Amino acid sequence: MATEAILKDGKRVRLRVANKDDGDKLLKMYKSLSAESIYRRFLGFTKLFRTRDFNYIVNQVLSDEFICVIAEYNNDIVAEADLHIKNSNELGVVVRDDFQGRGLGEIILKYLLEVAGKHGIKSCIAYTFTSNTPAIHIAQKYGCKIKHLGGNELLIEYNSSS
């Protein structure tokens, strides 16, 4: 179920479900992320991430426990969204730094939710920080519930009507 999307700047990306052959390209994308992007995506500090940490993450999101979708531009992965379907229905989205601010986060999130819906998943959650204004804006736009968990952490609840 691959599809194409047009970003705010007119660039076209290809959206599709990831497969095991995408591991190297996904690893390359993760390694290219800035400290801020890693912090927002993994709710943690970059110094904790090394190549083996990224390898573990890639193996996880490409396992049967996750639905993982990617956006490709010129055969490179420029965004990834995943949903942990065997446990918490927790999702995560990351956009490569040079593709941020073009609407790709919202596009890939919508695509992930469509794919999840076809697997019978009607709701999911995401954790983020109060400083992650793009994620908060998207959640508000779609009428998602946003709960403050204390400190600078938020829980966003998505459902099939979002």
> What confidence tier does 98 reach under pLDDT thresholds 50, 70, 90?
very high
The DSSP string of 115-137 is: HHHHTT--EEEEEEETT-HHHHH
Question: What pLDDT, on a 0 to 100 scale, did the predictor assign at position 55?
Answer: 75
Residue 10 phi, psi dihedral angles, 5° rounding = 90, -10
| Per-position b or e across 117-150, b if 16+ CB within 10 A of its CB | eeeebeebbbbbeeebebbbebbeebebeeeeee
The answer to whether the CB of 119 falls within 8 A of the CB of 65 is no
Q: Which domains does the chain have, with CATH numbers?
A: 3-121 (3.40.630.30)
Is it the case that residue 162 has pLDDT exceeding 60?
no
- The per-residue pLDDT for range 45-78, each reduced to its tens digit, is 555 566 667 777 887 888 888 999 999 999 999 9
Confidence of residue 30 (pLDDT cuts 50, 70, 90): confident
- Reading phi first (left if > 0) and then psi (alpha if -120 to 50, else beta), residue 73 is in beta
pLDDT at 52: 64
pTM assigned to the model: 0.91
Cα 52 to Cα 76: distance, rounded to the nearest angstrom? 21
